[in-house]
Structure 1
Amino acid sequence: MTLTTSGLRKAFGGVVALDGADVEFVPGKVNALIGPNGSGKTTFFNCVTGMIKPDAGRITYGGKDLTGRAPHVVARAGVGRTFQLCRVFPRMTAVENVLAAVRPGGLVHGLRSAHRRAEIERAHGWLTRLGIEHLAGAEARNMSWGQQKLLELAGVLMAEPNTILLDEPAGGVNPALLDRIGTLVRDLNAEGRTFVIVEHNMDLVMSISDHIVVFDRGRPIAAGPPAEIRADERVLGAYLGV
């Protein structure tokens, strides 16, 4: 399903974070959203996922209007999201964190589901897939930053979204884990999931993306495949500073 925005605008006082952003991501592909700090990328994610309401414009997903809808409504529509700063339950174990993400019903439903063998097995399956099954019984607060990022992604995947938004998945992780994240994204995409990734690591972006959208001052200035974006003079000027 296609995720699109039309005329999306959001201001914080006198600061315009999004300025009439018209964006269309390619379904079934790995999309990247790049741009300099302050260009509106995270605000865009927050508007799309219902964390904040846009001042104007429209958000649609598979033809369904999600403009201003609550985060749980967006999630149930099939859009999952990770955060730049991991959002996990620090005093819950890894498997409890994954179960808490089961839809519908969120945390309460997920914990009650701990009595259901199928859901427990599915949670362990995602932990195994992401390489952290050995931490299933460990509290999240005792996990490394990179392991918490994988745990957060496992929770997102537990909800079975069709489209996954990743906010700086490479931030603060070591090179080995970065390679694993890149491989996971491509493997999960090959299974039919669409990705939209906000990321500053250009090596990662260029190696795994099929389609890149470039933001500057709250709106897209370029969109296309990596080779095209790499050679675009507008991108070089706005993002790379040359």
Structure 2
Amino acid sequence: MSSLRTAGLTKSFGGVRAVDDVTVEIAEGRINGLIGPNGSGKTTFFNLVTGLIRPDEGRVLYRDRDITRYAPHRIAHVGLGRTFQLCRVFPRMTVMENMLVAVRRTRLRELLAGTHATGEVERARHWLTRMGIEHLERAEARNLSYGQQKLLELAAVFMGDPELVLLDEPAGGVNPALIERIVTLVRDLNAEGRTFLVVEHNMDMVMGMCDHVIVLDRGAPIAEGPPSAVRADPRVLEAYLGV
């Protein structure tokens, strides 16, 4: 079953097609990779899928529902979550506050007053524990290491209980031990039924973790398939690896 499909998705900036007639399918239940050289359109593709920008042409379908014109919060509500290439947290809020503000049912006024549902706090602690940062719940986010902020951002995404999670360079700027922890988390969560689409420049991570890989070059897909086939594809070697 298809979790996400795009049909003819196109977006131009200043006459340059950042995403060029992209038709791809993300199968449910898999860990999918999206790779390509810098400027190949990967983050623009994420922004189109999650409603941060509107396409010039084409459609985005999630479980056969056309979400092309949905606002970002509505897309999150139907079951898509995402992280960002540059980690996004509220630096002057505590870790727990960051978790609770991620839940749309929690109003900012209630958050500041400390009047929030007990169930939401328990759920937040569950995800902080899954990420291994439960001991930091009272710390301000600005005092966390960059890797800990990455884990906080990921934990906050799961407060929305997404079925499809888009990860934009989860290994960027973190140490090998944390990369291995992220890989383990993704595999465990995938085994529990969540689908992933991962943009990443760390080829070893992508090829070792993903079931299916899509390659973009100059905004358009040039290859897709299992990691072993993609790694050996001459078009990928030329476009992505430069050989």
Aligned to 2:173: 172
Amino acid at match of 2:65: K
Match of 2:24 in 1: 23
Which amino acid in the other structure matches residue 206 of structure 2? V
Spell out the pairing of 1:29-40 with structure 2 (5 A cutoff): 29-40=30-41
- Say whether residues 1:6 and 2:12 are aligned partners: no
- Cα 1:79/1:112, change in 2 over 3 Å: farther
Distance 1:198 1:42 in 2: 8
Q: How does 1:1-242 map to 2 (within 5 A)?
A: 2-104=3-105, 107=108, 114-242=115-243
- Name the SS for the 1:115 alignment partner: coil
**Quick check: 1:99–1:113 contact (8 Å CA) kept in 2?**
no
SS of the equivalent of 1:2 reads strand
- CA spacing shift, 1:240–1:141, aligned 2, 3 Å: same
Offset of 1:115 from its aligned partner? 2.9
Verify the 8 A CA contact 2:110 2:116 in the aligned structure 1. Answer: no
Give the letter for the 1:65 counterpart: D
Cα distance in 2 for residues equivalent to 1:201 and 1:112: 42
Q: 2-side partners of 1:148 and 1:4: how far apart?
A: 30
Maintained 8 Å contact 2:4/2:63: yes
CA 73–130 in structure 1, closer or farther in 2 if over 3 Å, else same = same
Rounded Cα–Cα distance in structure 2 between residues aligned with 1:75 and 1:39: 25
Cα separation, 1, equivalents of 2:92 and 2:179: 26
Contact 1:100 1:111 in 2 (8 A): no
| Matched position secondary structure for 1:230 | helix
Q: Distance in 2 between matches of 1:141 and 1:107?
A: 19
CA distance in 2, matches of 1:105, 1:10: 34
Q: Distance in 2 between matches of 1:238 and 1:218?
A: 12
Query: Sequence identity of aligned pairs in percent?
Result: 65
Alpha-carbon distance in 2 for matches of 1:143, 1:168: 19
C-alpha separation in 2, matches of 1:154 and 1:113: 20
Contact 2:106 2:116 in 1 (8 A): no
Alignment TM-score, normalising by the size of structure 1: 0.96
C-alpha deviations, 1:178-210, integer Å up to 9, x for none? 100000000000000000000000010011100
Letter in 1 for 2:82: R
* Amino acid in the other structure paired with 2:134: E
Give 1:240's aligned amino acid.
L
Provide, for residues 78-129 of structure 1, a one-character-per-residue CA deviation record: whole Å limited to 9, x for no partner. 0000000111111111011011111346756766785321111110111011
Q: 1:53 to 1:171 in 2, by over 3 A?
A: same
Q: Per the alignment, do residues 55 and 236 of structure 1 end up closer, same or farther by CA in structure 2, a change over 3 Å counting?
A: same
Deviation per residue, 1:27-49 (Å, 9 max, x gap): 11100000000000000000000
Give SS of 1:39's match.
coil
How far 1:144 sits from its partner (Å)? 0.6
**Letter in structure 2 aligned against 1:81:** R
The count of corresponding residues between Structure 1 and Structure 2 is: 242
Long gaps (5+) in structure 2: none
Report if the CA contact (8 A) 2:30-2:211 is conserved.
yes
Q: TM-score, normalised by structure 2?
A: 0.96
